[in-house]
Structure 1
Amino acid sequence: MQASAKKIFAVFGNPILHSRSPQLFNAVFVHENINALYTRIQATNGKEVVDIIKKHKISGANITTPFKETVLEYVDSISDEARQIGGINVIINSNGALSGHNTDHIGVTTSLENITDLKTANCLVLGAGAAARAAVFGLILKGANVTVANRTFEKAKQIAKTFNCKAISLDKLEQSISKTDIIVSSLLPHANPLQGIILPKNLIILDANYRRSGVADYALKQECRLISGKEWLLYQAIETYKLFFGKEPDKSIMEKKFSSNLNSENINALALNPNVKHVDFQDVDIAIYTSSNNEAEFKKRLNEEKNLLING
């Protein structure tokens, strides 16, 4: 009997080399003796993401920044949750038909429910992208009172209108925080609108980043209770695995792999372009898609990824 072909899974983003998803999934594949591998792929737009999934028969994918919204128009179907959130972080390939899903909201609520009750909790969500919308969706589903704050107030107001919650401008943060139980930050690592505000020590802060960030550093300095983005990633990954395989993974196997870091001096990188037909993703740390066979562009983007991996 001919052995079944190895299934390929990937996380798409830009940048993407920092992602821990391959460590988590590949560890479970080994533990469960599943003939599959999980890698990272850097693309430049949502259409490229979908084209790569179809061309290289990728069975399932996680989608991260900046493609959660831009892939929406290219998939064949969208789950109710993903449609309401307005963003996809999971794509499943069923014989060429791509369905979009969202497990981010479960990552948020499960991380928080491990330590607190969300029903009637006063929650402040920082940001207005797909991750922020997923957080708002999940928190409201659990009965929380949600307020959204964003640098561009109009975007916060749009989310508030969509989910029937409140929106505030960043200059109103200080007075809002005194009535806040939980902050969920979906901001980029360098952003910290909390700077200079005295935070209550019983405040819970969930940061989407699992690398060092301005919000996380400030939360620790203010002695707040910080939940790392590692928790968010872990619980959305568990839900993603269930979508891929119809069963729950061993959580402890995934948890152990969070400390597994890539060595920036020993990155196995693969060049993808429209002319590449057959690809072996085995042991590939990152595949970078370019519109043509442009070695200079490939090297430039790889070096940018390595620098971000080192410097954060």
Structure 2
Amino acid sequence: MNSTGRRRFAIVGDPVMHSMSPAIHTAGYAAYDIDAVFEHLPTTADQFGRVVAALRAGELAGVNVTMPHKERAFAAVDDLDEVARRSRAVNTIVVNDGRLVGYNTDVVGVQVAGTQAGFSDSAPVLVLGAGGAAAAAVVAMADRSLFVSARNQPDARELLERTLTEATVVSWGEGVAGAIVVNATPLGMRGEELPGDVLVVGSGLLDMTYGQGQTTACELYRRLGLPCADGFDMLVAQAGSAFELFTGIAPDLDIFRLAIKGS
């Protein structure tokens, strides 16, 4: 809470100024007449402890957490919901009676965005990455035939161990025929291509990154008539869950979509 009594929320990460979260949540506050502010809070690894201290001091009512701090957030909170506990990553922290409660709304974001994109229910899934976003993806897709790939294979195996998930680890750049590819790495945020032939043999793409417009990979898939959910689709879905955790109000997600288009 700031000096005016207005509740203060933020998105913390490094980098973070590209995030659409402030525009989204601010639109929600206006729509539901909520006296709150939501801001960008650039935060390096060395500065993350200051964010935790601000939450405990009541200076912040809650935060969204993005790369590379989701695992730091997991370690910093007092309590966890079951999804965050399973994924061992936190992207939303809420102050509740002085305790920091960690949630992972990325899991909901993956599930909702995938459903809206029209992915096949029977297709296997190939997750690229081994960090907090990848943890959310493997938990969200755990009921499918699952494959995981990371530049460092031991990181992929450690991801499966910490999330208690069964999957096959494949080499970086190796495609899986007919798979829905989930990009849980920063690749694509600035136009970089995904590795090897993962897209060539895939049947759908969920690209968890976003930058200026849709990513190159998502643009390619849509031109080919293949289903793709990009980072904006997932952002809207997970932001709806975070907004409800922060305010107690389940928002109309069209408010968030319009906020993205207008910013």
TM-score (norm 2): 0.87
The unaligned stretches of length 5 or more in structure 2 are none
Q: What secondary structure does 1:211 align onto? A: coil
* Cα distance in 2 between the residues matched to 1:226 and 1:74: 34
The answer to whether the Cα contact below 8 Å between 1:47 and 1:71 also exists between their aligned partners in 2 is: no
* Cα distance in 1 between the residues matched to 2:82 and 2:155: 22
The answer to whether the Cα contact below 8 Å between 2:118 and 2:227 also exists between their aligned partners in 1 is: no
Among 222, 225, 228, which residue is 1:226 paired with? 228
The answer to whether the Cα contact below 8 Å between 1:128 and 1:159 also exists between their aligned partners in 2 is: yes
Q: Which amino acid aligns with 1:186?
A: A
Q: Cα RMSD over matched residues?
A: 2.2
1:102-117 equivalences under 5 Å are 102-116=104-118
Q: What secondary structure does 1:199 align onto? A: coil
* Cα distance in 2 between the residues matched to 1:240 and 1:156: 28
The answer to whether the Cα contact below 8 Å between 1:170 and 1:193 also exists between their aligned partners in 2 is: no
Q: Deviations over 1:68-95 (max 9, x none)?
A: 0112222111222111101100000124
The answer to whether the Cα contact below 8 Å between 1:194 and 1:215 also exists between their aligned partners in 2 is: no
1:1-312 equivalences under 5 Å are 5-45=5-45, 46-55=48-57, 57-116=59-118, 119-140=121-142, 143-161=143-161, 162-171=164-173, 173-174=174-175, 176=176, 178-180=177-179, 182-188=180-186, 189-190=189-190, 191-195=192-196, 199-200=200-201, 203-212=203-212, 213=215, 215-216=217-218, 218-219=220-221, 224-261=226-263
* Cα distance in 2 between the residues matched to 1:90 and 1:197: 31
Counting aligned pairs with the same residue, the percent is 26
Which is worse superposed, 70-79 or 102-111? Answer: 70-79
* Cα distance in 2 between the residues matched to 1:250 and 1:197: 35
- Going from structure 1 to structure 2, the CA distance change for 1:118 and 1:247 (only over 3 Å counts) comes to farther
- Going from structure 1 to structure 2, the CA distance change for 1:223 and 1:153 (only over 3 Å counts) comes to farther
* Cα distance in 2 between the residues matched to 1:194 and 1:222: 19
Q: What is the CA-CA distance between 1:251 and the residue it aligns to?
A: 1.2
* Cα distance in 1 between the residues matched to 2:82 and 2:145: 22
- Going from structure 1 to structure 2, the CA distance change for 1:88 and 1:49 (only over 3 Å counts) comes to same
Determine the structure 2 residue equivalent to 1:302: none
Q: Which amino acid aligns with 1:179?
A: G
- Going from structure 1 to structure 2, the CA distance change for 1:197 and 1:139 (only over 3 Å counts) comes to closer
Q: Deviations over 1:172-228 (max 9, x none)?
A: x13x2x232x1110111254334566625x821111112154543554566543221
Q: How many residues align?
A: 251
- Going from structure 1 to structure 2, the CA distance change for 1:197 and 1:235 (only over 3 Å counts) comes to closer
Q: Runs of 4 or more off by more than 4 Å in structure 1?
A: 195-198, 220-223
TM-score (norm 1): 0.74
Determine the structure 2 residue equivalent to 1:279: none
The answer to whether the Cα contact below 8 Å between 2:73 and 2:91 also exists between their aligned partners in 1 is: no
Q: What secondary structure does 1:71 align onto? A: helix
- Going from structure 1 to structure 2, the CA distance change for 1:159 and 1:120 (only over 3 Å counts) comes to farther
* Cα distance in 1 between the residues matched to 2:199 and 2:64: 37
* Cα distance in 2 between the residues matched to 1:86 and 1:75: 12
The unaligned stretches of length 5 or more in structure 1 are 262-312
Q: What secondary structure does 1:17 align onto? A: coil
The answer to whether the Cα contact below 8 Å between 2:218 and 2:228 also exists between their aligned partners in 1 is: yes
Structure index of larger Rg: 1
